[in-house]
Amino acid sequence: MNVYDSSRIADMLQNLGYEEAASVNQADLVIFNTCHIREKAAEKVFSDLGRLYNLKQERLAQTGQDMIIGLAGCVVQAEDEQIAKRAPYVDFATGPLTYYRIPELLAKIERQRGISLIDTDFPAIDKFDYLPDNHAHGGCSYLAIQEGCNNFCTYCVVPYTRGAEFSRPVEAVIAEAKRLVADGTLEINLLGQNVNSYHGEDAAGHERDLAYLLRRLSEIDGLERLRYTTSYPADVNEDLIACHRDLPKLMPYLHLPVQSGSDRILKAMNRRHNRDDYMRIIDKLKDANPNIGLSSDFIVGFPGETDQDFQATLDMVNYVKYIQAFSFKYSRRPGTPAAVYENQVEEKVKKERLEILQNLLFSYQLRFNKDSIGKTMPVLFDMKGRHKGQLIGRTPYMQNLHAELGKEYLNKIVSVKITEANTNSLSGIAEGL
Ligand code: SAH
Ligand code: SF4
């Protein structure tokens, strides 16, 4: 979501006549788009800001040119007082729902230099109405269809930083998708904190779900691939599962975070699913499409997590055999209920559990990647490789793949025979060109 927000901010700035600078030293304006989900991410903002401020002063001394420093994202929403205290030199700061106002903030700064502006309202308007059209930057595009969250998992800041759940209207999404496809997009990844809780209104004012939207989108000529992320297990309905059987454009890959395999912990996390509910959904998805690959997020060391609870998480991994995953040590976030639970788990234990979990997850990821060797897959190439004559693309399973290919194949789907695999990437040879 932050990558998406950053690219929308860049689009907005381009409309104002800004161009991308070759390096930070040459930038007249630097905007940090920040994440507050874990302490480490939030703290990094302040150290990066300090470094940037030094750079700004060096540049001013050497060239006489000033630099505007802006902050965007969830750290602004959650820590506006801290920003004023720890980084008073920030020229403006705007939350994740208000960044459409950046042009206005910049205009003000240009008028009255030196004034800090912090703007973190939860406006009662749809920011998407105020942003410029989302343009494709290549073969893969993000399309935000839903934002915010009403779930209030006890560890999570998102409901506080991104606000209440909101779904964009169906026709606005379809129109944006058509525009992206006309611009050359082949793959659309529908975005939302809980994308499958989508309930946007159609033209007749009826609420429609994600399955309806996927069916409508898959009718768009020229659109080859659809994905959606991130999903909340309790909101996976039968019709969404059926989409994985019925829609060839829907990629056989789903990120469905479980967080923990222990019912006791899931309850303490205030997740609306238990272990069995989750396993039932996985079974149904595999029935609908036996080739589906799953990924998940995990938190280890949530307050009160015992060895037995942790073992239940490992059991879940062994059951689902995730092909990719993100796993984190529980991080106490100020203002969330779990932050003040008394039974916090020791850092040492969290570290040990994370290592055990990640080793297990990586072993399944590696096994899946190795099993890909010898198969031929359609790969969408959307990046240049580090070496000349090399492109990087994504398989249907979101595996990164390198191949020797000329740049005329950038933003195209090419059949590739997989020849090599390691934990994080594949190599292959293009076929039938
Ligand atoms: N809406 C998605 C997740 C969005 S946050 C869902 O419910 O699945 C992305 C991930 O960050 C979460 O899935 C979780 O694993 C992790 N996360 C969120 N808060 C955290 C915290 N306090 N400590 C550690 N990890 C956290
Ligand atoms: Fe956070 Fe996801 Fe829970 Fe919402 S559903 S509170 S975004 S973890």
Bridge partner residues of 141 (DSSP): 188
| Residue 303 beta carbon below 6 angstroms from any ligand 1 atom | no
Which range is most confident: 26-30, 84-88, 396-400?
396-400
CA–CA separation, 142 vs 140, rounded Å?
A: 7
Task: Name the amino acid, one letter, at 325.
Answer: A
CA–CA separation, 184 vs 83, rounded Å?
A: 40
Average pLDDT over every residue of 200-219? 97
| Residue 158 beta carbon below 6 angstroms from any ligand 2 atom | yes
What is the full DSSP assignment across 266-302? HHHTT-S--HHHHHHHHHHHHHH-TT-EEEEEEEES-
Residue among 269, 274, 272 at smallest CA distance from 336: 269
**What domains lie within the chain, and their CATH numbers?**
2-119 (3.40.50.12160), 127-371 (3.80.30.20), 376-430 (2.40.50.140)
Bridge partner residues of 297 (DSSP): 326
| Residue 259 beta carbon below 6 angstroms from any ligand 2 atom | no
Beta carbons within 8 Å of 168's beta carbon, 6+ residues apart: 126, 128, 144, 145, 146, 200
- Identify whether the C-beta of residue 126 lies closer than 8 Å to the C-beta of residue 164: no
The three-state secondary structure class of 156 is coil
Task: Name the amino acid, one letter, at 237.
Answer: N
φ, ψ for residue 360, nearest 5 deg:
-65, -45
- Residue 111 CA, ligand 1 centroid: distance in Å: 40
Query: Quick one: pLDDT at residue 115?
Result: 45
CA–CA separation, 150 vs 102, rounded Å?
A: 27
- Candidates 146, 150, 151: which one to mutate for ligand 2, based on the most atoms within 8 Å of Cβ? 151
Per-residue pLDDT of 319-351, as tens digits, reads 999 999 999 999 999 999 999 999 999 999 999
On the question of pLDDT at 81 being above 90, the answer is: no
Lowest-confidence segment of 118-122, 241-245, 281-285, 371-375 by average pLDDT: 118-122
Per-residue pLDDT of 88-130, as tens digits, reads 999 999 998 888 888 888 888 877 665 455 566 666 566 677 6
Ligand with the closest atom to the CA of 158: 2
pTM over 0.75: yes
Under DSSP, the state recorded for 16 is T
